[in-house]
Chains A and B, each alone.
Chain A
Amino acid sequence: MEDAKKKKMTAYTKQMIITYGMVIAVYIICEICMHTGHMSNQMKGLLVPLCYYAIMAVSLNLTVGILGELSLGHAGFSCIGVFVGAVFSICMKDVITVSYLRFFLAILLGALAAGVIGFLIGIPVLRLRGDYLAIVTLAFCEIIKNVVNIIYLGKDSNGLHFSTKDMMSLGMEEGAVEIVKGPQGISGMPSDANFTIGILLLLITLFVVLNLIHSRDGRAIMAIRDNLIAAESVGINITKYKLMAFSISAALAGAAGVLYAHNFSIVKATTNNFGYNMSIMILVFVVLGGIGNIRGSIIAAVILTLVPELLRGLQQYRLLIYSVVLIGMMLLNWSPKAIEWKEGIVTKLKRGRNKQVEKQAD
């Protein structure tokens, strides 16, 4: 009994070590490549977006894989993070000159704002289940995008000006800073994000999600996923745990959004960026990586972001190949035949190893 418990513990720790180790190893390799000048500009430019997509996939996996609810509004929470974080940074550019401190506060604020909105949206939405929940989260994502698209915000010596009509109705003085320009997006963020911060944020996300999964709360959340009625009957507070998972997931997406915003000098909320399409793309990462499999989410996010970029040489065929890769990965991961085939190989390998062991024993 003791032994079994010990073995289980070590298996779990091993999994954790592999996940963290993988991220840290990739970080070290990339840093070495960068400092020895062996990394292309293209890769350098992709590092922060890769961290962003990995964080998005891991945090969505918390909702989809652990809580077991299909959310199509994940990009909306990220959008909140982008705009709250970016507005904060632009306003505080002259006040807080230490970029790390300012960025840290921006991330905290972005995560907090997204978490609060996630909590508020979660209260009515989490009463629904399955397809209904998916549709409603989708609608919220669109609402967030559209609200962001009518906001005009500027700053001059009199303070902040706000309008939902157009830039001119702000009535600002000459030389004012235009912060949010409605559908034309937000620009002028200080470029505070870098790869190290991205990796740190990814590690924090992993730490939060993995610890949550393996805690008492996490087991309660998974119990809800596996059987709602049974969970309720043993006295688990369904609403509390659902809201907990949902708003943590939203907060992490918000933090990721702040990272994204500070990597580019302009961010717009369109269907492809922070709209429906992006939510689906993140969901694709999660499904391909394996629902509930945190490490898989990271790997899928990285591969699927890299593929279309590394295939640039193929001109317009690259998007075609990208979709073929998608189908291929989906079949390989999820079709029963492919799973059977993979298991066959694994057992063969094991048998081979056993035979070797036996031979050695002889």
Chain B
Amino acid sequence: MKKLLSMILIAAMSLSLLTGCGGNDGSVDGAETGTGSVDGSTSDAGTSDAGTSDAGSASNAGGSSEVWKIGGIGPTTGGASVYGIAVQNGIQIAVDEINAAGGINGVQIEYKFEDDEHNEEKGVNAYNALKDWGMNILIGNVTSAPCVAVAAETAKDNMYQLTPSASSPDCAKNANVFQVCFSDPNQGIGSAQYIGGNALASKIAVIYNSSDVYSSGIYERFKSEAANQPFEIVAETSFTDDSNSDFTVQLQQAKDAGAELVFLPIYAKEAALILTQADAMGYQPMFFGCDGLDGVLAIEGFNTDLAEGVVLLTPFVADAEDEKTQAFVSTYVERYGEIPNQFAADAYDAVYVIKAAIEQSGATPADGVSGICDKLSAAMTQITIDGLTGSGMTWVETGEVSKDPRAMVIENGVYTNFQ
């Protein structure tokens, strides 16, 4: 009995191996040359995902075999799925807009998004799956740790990679990787300079998440920059993902040290709890945060009155008055039924950054993955983008973006420019 069963299982295993082997004939070449010389089986895979790129497949009927195949990677399942789904949707909106307007230099875009579950191993798997699909440009990953893992792979293949939101400096170590969001060190330095430059407070407490790359990355640079600034850090306390529900100890320490300003380089969910618990303690310092705080007003069950007076440095706010933001927000709300966060805006900008880089360099899909990467990487330092998340964005060769952070204050339940 066991023998029979194991034979069946062996058969199943070898079958699955064979499908893994055979199902992608030619896609290897497709990835190498990037000319869209993809055979039936893979283009099936592309069009069967038409749900995510209807405009792309519709344009295929036009007969052009040359398309830009843009792949995206991020967590669409698991704990970090909020960010991954936002990026997936943000890219989709931008891709549809560009395709409707005739594509990039007349070449249409096909788009496919893969799930990495916020896990390094799955991130690499997703990247390999997209390579089989014939991707020539990667937008990803959404979160930092998988991004570092995938960046090592894209460096081997010399594939152009633009991450919308992975902010750790390790992500952009290689020459082929660029960031749309601020890198963590820049946010930390920017925050310290802003607080010091505007003399917001002289005694400062920091509460950060030590298990999070984003949070501890900002904190480290904030602390080192603080030495040059006219304020003093009187309390530094941390928490981890496993202990993110009770902050009374951290707040009490800040209160006892007499901090006038509490710096929160963390995400909105924890910040909402901190604000609530500080209010319960009768502690009313000024709260100052980074882009992670964006979305604090949308937290369920949070009394938004408590967020009054919170200052945050953020590149994107959904109720900004400019036409571009309003158009994006209304499209997003119409299609996905919720207000986009900063991740969606970063992703939207990422597509337009790629478009500008392609137009600047004159790259075509026929250049091949490596050729496209060389051209786009060279073009990145020459372009200037006015996007949703900042105007006059430029890039340096190391891959970091330079844009001005905007300080916003929450007044009467809406973001307004600080000062």
Contact = CB atoms under 8 A, between A and B. Distances in A.
Interface of A: 18, 22, 26, 29-30, 33, 37-46, 49, 149, 166-168, 182-185, 187, 191, 264-268, 272-273, 290, 293, 295-296, 299, 302-303, 306, 309-310, 312-313, 315-316, 319, 333, 339, 342-343, 345-346
19 contacts: A39-B24, A40-B21, A40-B27, A42-B20, A42-B24, A49-B121, A183-B240, A264-B120, A265-B151, A265-B152, A273-B119, A273-B120, A296-B9, A299-B9, A299-B10, A302-B13, A310-B20, A316-B77, A316-B115
B119 A29 contact: no
Given A168-B220, A302-B13, A46 B125 contact: yes
A140 B211 CA distance: 20
Nearest to B211: A183
A41 B132 contact: yes
A186 to B, nearest CB: 11
B14 A264 contact: no
A306 B211 contact: no
Contact of A299 (B6, B48, B151, B170): B6
Interface residues of B, number: 57
B148 A187 contact: yes
Contact of B128 (A44, A296, A316): A44
Contact of A26 (B1, B5, B17, B25): B17
B28 A40 contact: yes
Interface in B176-216: 210-213, 216
B216 A316 contact: no
Given A39-B21, A40-B27, A273-B121, 15 more contacts: A18-B6, A41-B28, A42-B24, A42-B132, A44-B128, A46-B128, A182-B210, A182-B216, A266-B152, A267-B120, A273-B120, A299-B6, A299-B9, A303-B9, A306-B20
B4 A26 contact: no
A303 B125 CA distance: 16
Contact of A38 (B9, B25, B170): B25
Contacts of B375: none
B119 to A, nearest CB: 6
Contacts of A296: 6, 9
B224 A40 contact: no
Contacts of B9: 296, 299, 303
A310 B212 CA distance: 31
User: Secondary structure at chain A's binding surface: helix, strand, loop or mixed?
Assistant: helix
Given A266-B120, A310-B16, A310-B19, A166 B216 contact: yes
Interface of B: 1-2, 4-6, 9-10, 12-14, 16-17, 19-25, 27-28, 31, 45, 48-49, 76-77, 114-115, 117, 119-121, 124-129, 131-132, 145, 148-149, 151-152, 168, 170, 210-213, 216, 220, 223-224, 240
Contacts of A26: 13-14, 17
Nearest to A342: B1
Nearest to B224: A168
Nearest to B7: A18
Nearest to B12: A303
Contacts of B20: 39-40, 42-43, 46, 306, 310
A293 to B, nearest CB: 7
A183 B114 contact: no
Contacts of A295: 6
A43 B28 CA distance: 12
A29 B14 contact: yes
Which of A41, A43, A299, A310 is the most central at the interface, judged by chain B CB atoms within 10 Å of its CB? Answer: A41
A342 B4 contact: yes
